[in-house]
């Protein structure tokens, strides 16, 4: 059974969540949490978020849906090099 405890806020603003509370909520290192301040009640509510990291979930979300900026830049540099070669007869370095 979990019991209320007094925890101290560190100089850095950190608070240690008791191990039994973390275990009961399925919180592991790296678990994202939402901190909800309630100014009327002078409370802070901590809510663990889904186990899936939202940043990792979004990785690759736009893959193949937008043009590659790297490819566009490379094509632009190739065009610039061709124009430079045509204008000067050689490629200038730098």
Tens of pLDDT, residue by residue over 12-21, are 999 999 999 9
- Nearest CA to 21 out of 31, 10, 11 is that of 31
pLDDT tens digits, residue range 36-71? 999 999 999 998 887 666 677 777 777 777 777 888
């Amino acid at each position: 059974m979990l019991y209320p405890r007094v925890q101290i806020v560190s100089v850095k603003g950190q608070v240690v969540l008791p191990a039994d509370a973390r275990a009961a909520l399925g919180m592991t290192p790296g678990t994202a949490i939402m901190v909800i301040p309630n100014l009327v009640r002078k409370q802070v509510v901590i809510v663990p978020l889904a186990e899936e990291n939202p940043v990792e979930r979004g990785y690759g979300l736009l893959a193949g849906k937008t043009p590659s900026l790297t490819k566009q830049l490379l094509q632009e540099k190739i065009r610039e090099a061709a124009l430079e070669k045509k204008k000067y007869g050689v490629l200038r370095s730098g």
